Amino acid sequence: MKVLVTGASGLLGRAVAARVLAAGHEVRTFQRSPSTVPGVEDLRGSMTVAADVERAVDGVEAVVHLAAKVSLAGDPADFERVNVGGTERLVAAAAREGVARFVQVSSPSVAHSGSSIVGDGALPADPVHARGDYARTKAQAELLALAADGDAMRVVAVRPHLVWGPGDTQLVARIVARARASRLPLLDGGRALIDTTYVDNAASAIAAALERAADDAVHGNAYVVTNGEPRPVAEMLAGICAASGAPVPRWSVPAGLARAAGGAVEAVWRVRPGQDEPPMTRFLAEQLSTAHWFDQRRTRADLRWTPEVTIDEGLARLRAAGARGG
């Protein structure tokens, strides 16, 4: 198949493009900056420009859509334009082109309302109760994509949870930067149990969804993807910091206080946004203080997929990459 992968300049997008290419497919990548993935047709453009999107889908048979605005803060209109408008534009263009398979890369946050998630599967995306502009617009985008599922175009949504690995400029880089600046507290001691996903596992799951999208038992569904190794927040943060040469966070604050502080910071940020992301938000406080781990049995059975890299092996690879300066 000729496969379009959007958002391939990011950590996960690059890994997905490389994985799909290695499976024997022809790959075109589409994003604002070069993907740097060897062997692909690299197309630059914006999800907000209709002509760019039409050019991206021209001649492709399948789409894997990762491009999104990912941030803890920002203008709500920007999230709407990229995450909702971009997805709507891409789905419509793919349908007109006769694309047969469409994998929407989503997030478990689309079904997170702030309370703990303990062993759930992929609950319905809920834009009304999703926390923050990113989660809200990703929920809308997932619903848009799945609404297009049918005999002509088989659509699957995949929700990788907290993806990390060497070269990560999102989760790992933020954790390390906050730890080095002494801005990474443990909320309620970091006892909450969470799932994460090593990048190679997330990429292989998305590639598996692409292969399985035509199956009647698979298309039209959403799947949460994780390593399936829940660990306490404190242990996971300590592992990432130690592997990256950053100080391990040891000071704790009450989760309720952090949530209140996050709400206050958000209010100030809306009026006077800073150069960086806010030091705390309500969403971040909830993510650091509530359990969120998922039942992976349906994901693994339907996608015929299992993780390849354990968390411990992933941390070893993160440490090795840091030692090499990568």
Which whole-number Å values give the CA distances from 260 to 98, 111, 227, 265, in the listed order? Answer: 49, 22, 31, 9
Note whether 27 and 21 are within 8 A (CB): yes
d(CA 33, CA 45): 8
The catalytic residues are 134
Half-sphere exposure of 209 (CA within 13 A, CB side): 31
Does residue 167 sit in helix, strand or coil?
Answer: coil
Provide the β-strand partners of residue 122. none
| H or E, element range at 68 | none
Note whether 13 and 33 are within 8 A (CB): no
Structure tokens at 225: 């993807």
Of the candidates 135, 147, 155, 152, the one whose C-alpha atom is nearest the C-alpha of residue 69 is: 135
Which whole-number Å values give the CA distances from 129 to 137, 140, 286, 291, in the listed order? Answer: 11, 11, 14, 18
